[in-house]
Amino acid sequence: MTMGLIAGLAIAFVWPHEHAAAVVGDRNDKFAVVTAAVDATAFVEGVFVLDFLTGQLRGSVLNPTAGAFAVLYARNVAQDFNVNPNEPGTYAIVSGRTNMNASGGGQPAASCIYVAELTSGKVVAYSFPAGGRGGATLPLTPVDGFQFREASQ
């Protein structure tokens, strides 16, 4: 039994390790919060808040060295879904790991934010840059979308 324990510990020591990471989200009837990986190698995450009343999606990344939020992101997703500005949208939001190709806007983050809206029946994926300077608000850019149901009026 001792030899089995020693062999098991030796194998566990040399076996390749993979960092465990999980996306976290929470919501109530007025807003939702989700985390998203920004850098796959440094294990840096951003936090994004979708306000159902205004359709504003805002996010930021905590700089672990400075201990302060350093990069800000924003987008009015209500416009993307043609939501009536006088009524709150019916949204769902998640994030997922992606490996987007870099384009003119710099290196994209290691995740996309996916937003669905019930009235329009659409899902839209949003990309965001992995880096930026403090003070400037960077855009969340629609990548693509699809209809998951017919729009209702």
Phi-psi region of 7 (alpha: psi -120 to 50; beta: other; left: phi over 0): alpha
User: Helix, strand, coil proportions of the chain in percent (round to 5)?
Assistant: 10, 45, 40
Query: Which among 77, 60, 78 has a CA at the least distance from the CA of 69?
Result: 60
Q: How confident is the model at residue 77 (pLDDT cuts 50, 70, 90)?
A: very high
Q: pLDDT for 105-149, tens place per residue?
A: 577 888 999 999 999 999 999 999 887 666 678 999 999 999 998
CA 114 – CA 148 distance, rounded (Å): 13
Q: Given this model, what pLDDT does residue 103 score? A: 64
In the predicted model, what is the mean pLDDT of residues 35-64? Answer: 88
**Strand order through the sheet with 122-127:** 91-97, 111-117, 122-127, 141-147
